[in-house]
Chain A
Amino acid sequence: MRLEPKTAPSLIVTLLYPVAAILVTFAITALLVLAAGASPFSVFFLVWKGAAGSQFALLETLTRATPLIFTGLAVAVAFRAKLWNIGAEAQLYIGAVVTVVLGTGALPLPSFILIPVIMVAAMAAGALLLLGPAILKTRFGVDEVVTTLLLNFIVLLFVSMLLEGVLKDPMGMGWPQSSRVIAEAQLPRIVQGRRLHYGFVIAIVSAVIIWIIMKKTALGYEMRAVGHNPQAASFAGIPVNRVLMKTALLSGGIAALAGFSEVSGLKGNLTLDLSPGYGYTGIVVAMLAMLNPIGVVVSAIFVAGIFVGADAMSRTAGVPSYIADVMVATSLLTMVVALLFTRYRLRWK
């Protein structure tokens, strides 16, 4: 058995395989729903209704998609240059810490200055956090998968330490949570009385900016070149290490915005369960989008819809809501296989 590159994959094939991957995912999930003793069609309908069946559901899905767009973009940017940033979770929390530190009254500024200041500071913190592993990789050849992965735990413990120490809310009845950010540091809601906030708009704008950087600038070209073949890029005169550093700064910065937008737009304060693994789900989001920044928006909304819909479904249909996690993980694996077969065909010798 061997893989043979396809010379020119047709447009139909390029679209057909990802669609097939989603269908296979639904088929596998349907089996699990049957095992749970429910009807797959009614369960999928309930998921759809819970995710997009009403204005409330749709806005809730977009709210949940917001942090996923940021982490998905962070992963997409890094993976494009083959910088394996598994640490978006840590960068998210650092962004949230900065938001809380600056946003709880330390800077008495009007909203239109304070929010940009916090955003820049959060991005800088996230960027610096990923710069460490990037320097270790380019200088000493330390594997960034392991360093970024372990940093997730170190940062989470660090946050836990802050929440039980200097950042602890004196009015929090002893819970490990920070004080709430002041009104000037909060992102306004888009629709009155709903949870969707302007973090979503920032996420969309970020996606467009990243798309422009990746497609239209020299840096984007260099990042793609380094990702395709670092040796060839180096021979062509591209400073590979410097490009990897820039990639790390960009990726870490965007991931930190996820933490900023969750605290400033949605939760108002920092707790240890701020992110139910948005950093890791960001990897799925980026892969489903084939690392395309605009695609990240679509796939983040898709993934968020599955989570929000499954929550609503499990309340009525009695199928455990973990079915959403299974679906998302399965779709990641089927999608990478599908993408392989758009470029290669299998030959049985």
Chain B
Amino acid sequence: MDAFEILLSASFWVAAIRIASPLIFATMGELICERAGVLNLGIEGIMTAGAFAGWFTVYSGGDLWTGVLVAALAGAMFGLLHATLTVPLGLSQHVVGIGITLLATSLTYFTYRLLLPEVTSPPKIEPFQPVAIPGLSDIPVIGQALFNQTPLTYLAFATVALTAWVLYRTPLGLAVRAVGENPSAVEAQGISVTAIRIGAVMVGSALMAIGGAFLTMSAFNSFFFEMINGRGWIAIALVVFGSWRPGKALIGAILFAAFDAYQVRLQQLTGGVVPYQIFLMMPTRLSAKQLRY
């Protein structure tokens, strides 16, 4: 198989979409926060908390969708804390965001050690299984990638559509965008800037947490320390890459994930001549190029 044939293989695109799914949730979450005018640097920790909350719910006997719900609630709670400190109290979004990341991560690890003190290898759960959509999943190359994934991946794509629809087609979305662009004008309209921002950060944080939960409940089947591994920060870059638009951000997430899936396969091809770290660095720089506020 040469470097180009990889791009035509179904397994490559299946992997790309799977890698993209948590990024899509997280990116939409961050995008909603930033559209309302709040930079949420708590994303990395909120994803960690979501990954654990969802996984642990299932591990202790809950059903998979209950796990997703619990993860979302955990994310929303950290979002509420973030929003309370940054919106009505007006504290620095950078400092509070880093604080939320540190708090959510350390609380998660503490809870993990507390609830599972004796485990040496991470316990497993029965994760979401791929559900093939009849007919569509038989399309060559992209059929398997787009229509034979787990329900959470479908939910990720639905989230993008819903976010775009709410932001651009509803009065609520107009209010959210206006709060980010010109809060004084919104205040003059008699709409509470504080309420909209708090709501947006909570919803956004819930989505970030579901993105984390995707990793423990769909991509893998157990919780590891450091498993978010910078995906939250990547999502922040993807929001900028997508110039704060859900559709563009979706394309960015898929591009990034495709790059990630591609480098693994290219490494096998080049047989270690080029250090793998070079491949991992490339997409990060790619998005940083677009970082103009």
Give Cα distance in the complex from A142 to B41, angstroms.
17
The answer to whether B281 touches A280 (Cβ under 8 A) is: no
Q: Does A209 contact B (CB under 8 A)?
A: no
Known: A146-B240, A150-B284. A322 touches B96 (CB 8 A): no
**Structural contact, B291 and A336, CB atoms closer than 8 A:** no
C-alpha gap A141/B290 in the complex (Å): 11
CB-CB contacts below 8 Å: B163-216 with A = none
B114 touches A142 (CB 8 A): no
A57 within 8 A of B: no
Cα distance, A140 to B91, chains bound together (Å): 26
> Is B292 a contact of A284 with CB atoms below 8 Å?
no
Interface contact B284-A325, CB-CB below 8 Å: no
In the complex, chain A residues 158-191 whose Cβ is within 8 Å of any chain B Cβ? 158, 160-161, 164-165
Q: Main SS of the interface on chain B?
A: helix
B110 near A325 with CB under 8 A, answer yes
CA distance A339 to B103 in the complex (A): 19
Interface size on A, residues (CB 8 A): 43
A15 interface hit (Cβ, 8 Å): no
Using Cβ atoms and an 8 Å threshold, which residues of chain B touch A340? 89-91
- Answer whether A325 and B94 are a contact pair too, CB < 8 Å, given A3-B89, A141-B293, A154-B281: no
* Distance (whole angstroms) from the CB of B132 to the closest CB of chain A: 35
Q: What chain A residues lie within 8 Å of B100 (beta carbons)? A: 333
Are B103 and A157 in contact, with the CB atoms below 8 A? no
Which among A84, A140, A318 is the interface contact of B292 at CB below 8 angstroms? A140
- Contact A142–B293 (Cβ < 8 Å): yes
Q: For B230, what are the chain A residues with a Cβ–Cβ distance below 8 Å?
A: 153
**Contact for A337 among B91, B102, B109, B233, CB less than 8 A:** B91
- Taken together as a complex, chains A and B put the C-alpha atoms of A322 and B278 apart, in Å, by 33
Collect the chain A residues with CB atoms within 8 Å of residue B291's CB. Answer: 136, 142-143, 146-147
Q: Considering the complex, which residues of chain A in the window 271-295 have a beta carbon less than 8 Å from any beta carbon of chain B? A: 280, 283-284, 287
Q: Are A280 and B95 in contact (CB under 8 A)?
A: no
CB distance B237 to A157 under 8 Å? Answer: no
Partner among B39, B91, B94, B277 whose Cβ is within 8 Å of the Cβ of A160:
B277
Contact B110 A336 (CB under 8 A): no
Compute the total of residue contacts between A and B using a CB distance below 8 Å: 114
On chain A, the residues within 8 Å of B94 by CB distance are: 84, 86, 145
Known: A32-B110, A153-B233, A332-B102. A1 touches B88 (CB 8 A): yes
The chain A residue with its CB closest to the CB of B94 is: A84
Residue pair B236, A329 in contact (C-beta under 8 Å): no
Q: Cβ of B236: which chain A residues have Cβ within 8 Å of it?
A: 146, 149
Known contacts A146-B236, A146-B240, A337-B85; decide if A329 and B91 are in contact (CB<8 Å).
no
Q: Which of B22-41 contact A (CB under 8 A)?
A: 39, 41
Given A145-B39, A326-B106, A157 contacting B233 (CB threshold 8 A): no
A141 x B292 contact (CB < 8 A): yes
Contacts of A147 in B (CB 8 A): 288, 291
A1 to B192 alpha-carbon distance, docked (Å)? 12
A116 close to chain B: CB less than 8 A: no
**Residue of chain B at shortest CB distance from A314:** B113
Q: Given A161-B275, A165-B275, A283-B98 in contact, is the A325-B233 Cβ separation under 8 Å?
A: no
Alpha-carbon gap, A323 to B110, bound state (A): 6
Question: Which chain B residues (63-110) contact chain A, with CB distance < 8 Å?
Answer: 81, 85, 88-92, 94-96, 98-100, 102-103, 105-107, 109-110
Contact check: which of B114, B277, B292 meets A35 at CB < 8 Å?
B114
B105 and A325: CB pair below 8 A?
A: yes
Additional A-B contact list (12), CB under 8 Å, known A150-B233, A161-B277, A336-B91: A86-B41, A143-B240, A153-B230, A154-B284, A154-B285, A161-B275, A165-B275, A283-B95, A320-B110, A329-B106, A336-B85, A336-B92
